[in-house]
Amino acid sequence: MTDIWGSSDFAYVCLRDAVRTTSFQNAIERTVQRGDVVLEVGAGTGILSLFAATAGARKVFAVEIDDYLCACLEETVRANGLSGVVEVLRGDARDIELPSAVDVVIAELIDTGLVEEQQIPVLNSLLERGVATRATRFVPDAYSTEIQLMWMDEHLYGHVIRAPRHEWPFFAGDDRWTQFRAVERSQRALVWSGRFAEGPHEPEVGRNLTLPVRPPGPVNAVKLCGRVLLANGLEVGATNVMNGDKLLPLGREHDLPALDLSLGYGMGKGLRSVLVQVKEP
C-alpha cells in the first residue's frame, strides 16, 4: 500500500489530532513508571515514544516499518537529546528481534473494529514470542467494537454509491465537505471486547444479533464503531484520525420491526473480510 499511498502524511495527521495525541500522552503518563522498558510498535513520528521517555522510561524501543519514517524518527531522537534512551528499530514488529518481557507496550494500530490495521496480529505475535507477558502493561489497554443499524442516502451526485463511508468527526458541520444524510435505526450493540494483556486473541469474530429497529423505518446499512480504553478511567471513541465510524451498505433496504444479523470479520484482515447478512423471517 505504501507504494501508492504516502505514509508520512498519515503520521503527520496523527500528530495534528489533539484529542488522539493528548489522550495517549495522559495514558502513557499514567502507565509508564520510572525505569520501565517500553516498546512502541508503529511509531510513526515517534511522539508516543518521546512521551514514554519523558515519563521516566529507562529504555524505549520505537519500531517502525517505513524506512523514511525511521530516518526521520532517528533525527527526532537526536534533536531531543534522547539517543541513549530511545532506540529506533526498522522492520515489522511481528518478525524482527525484540527484547523479551518488556514492561509496557504502546500500540496505536487502532482502526474501527480493529479490522483494517494490525493491532491484534501484532500484539498476538508479541505475546506468543514472550516479548510481552501477562505482566506487561498495554497502552491502549482494551478495545470494544459495536454495531448499529442505519439508513443512509445512497443517491450521491446523481448516482447510487454503494461503498464504505468513513465518517471522520472533522467532516461534520463543515461546509467544505459534502454532508451525506444518514439516520440511526437502532441502539448500538456490543460485538467484541477484550483487554490486550489477556491475549493472544482469536482474530476471527462471528456474532448473531437481533436488533430492534427504533425509530421505525427502512434499514440499508450498518455502522461499525468502537471505544478505546487507553488506561483506567481514560476512554475515547472516534477522533479525527483514529477509530472513525464506518457505514457499510447492506445492498438493499429492509423494512422490519427487528433485524436478525449474522456478522463476521477478521481483525487485521481489512473491510473486505466483513460479512453482514440479514436473516429474513
Q: What pLDDT score does 9 carry?
A: 86
Closest CA to 48 of 144, 128, 138, 142: 138
Nearest Cα residue to 268 out of 93, 127, 118, 145: 118
CA distance 177 to 163: 18
- 21-71 pLDDT, tens digit each: 999 999 999 999 999 999 999 999 999 999 999 999 999 999 999 999 999
pLDDT tens digits, one per residue of 231-270: 988 999 999 999 999 999 999 999 999 999 999 999 999 9
pLDDT at 6: 58
Provide, rounded to the nearest whole percent, the portion of the chain with pLDDT above 70: 98
Q: Which pLDDT band, with edges at 50, 70 and 90, does 281 fall under?
A: confident
Model confidence at 111, pLDDT cuts 50, 70, 90, reads: very high
Q: What is the pLDDT of residues 192-204, one digit of tens each?
A: 999 999 999 999 9
pLDDT of residue 3: 53
Domains recognised in the chain with CATH numbers: 7-108 (3.40.50.150), 143-279 (2.70.160.11)
What does the pLDDT read at residue 90?
97
The rounded Cα 50 to chain-centroid distance in angstroms is 21
What mean pLDDT do residues 118-143 have? Answer: 97
Identify the pLDDT of residue 5.
Answer: 57
Mean pLDDT on 101-119 = 97
Mean pLDDT of the chain: 95
DSSP string, 163-193: S-EEE-GGGTT-TTS----EEE-S--EEEEE
Catalytic residue chosen out of the listed positions 40, 64, 74, 108:
108
b/e per residue 230-247 (b: at least 16 CB within 10 A): bbeebbbebbbbbbbbbb
| pLDDT number for residue 1 | 44
- What is the model's pLDDT at position 280? 78
Please name which of 58, 68, 56, 118 lies closest in space to residue 93, comparing C-alpha atoms: 118
Q: Please indicate whether residue 117 is annotated as part of the active site.
A: yes
Per-residue pLDDT for 190 more than 90? yes
Amino acid identity for residue 72 in this structure: C
Q: Which amino acid type is present at position 28? A: I
Nearest-angstrom CA–CA distance, 243 and 114: 9
Cell 439516520, located at residue: 183
Q: Which helix (H) or strand (E) holds 79?
A: helix 67-79
- Whether the per-residue pLDDT at 76 is higher than 70: the answer is yes
Please identify which of the residues 74, 116, 117, 146 carries the catalytic annotation: 117
Bond into 212 cis (ω within 30): no
74 catalytic per annotation: no
Q: What's the CA dihedral at 110, 112, 116, 120 to 10 degrees?
A: 50
Mean pLDDT value of segment 93-111: 96
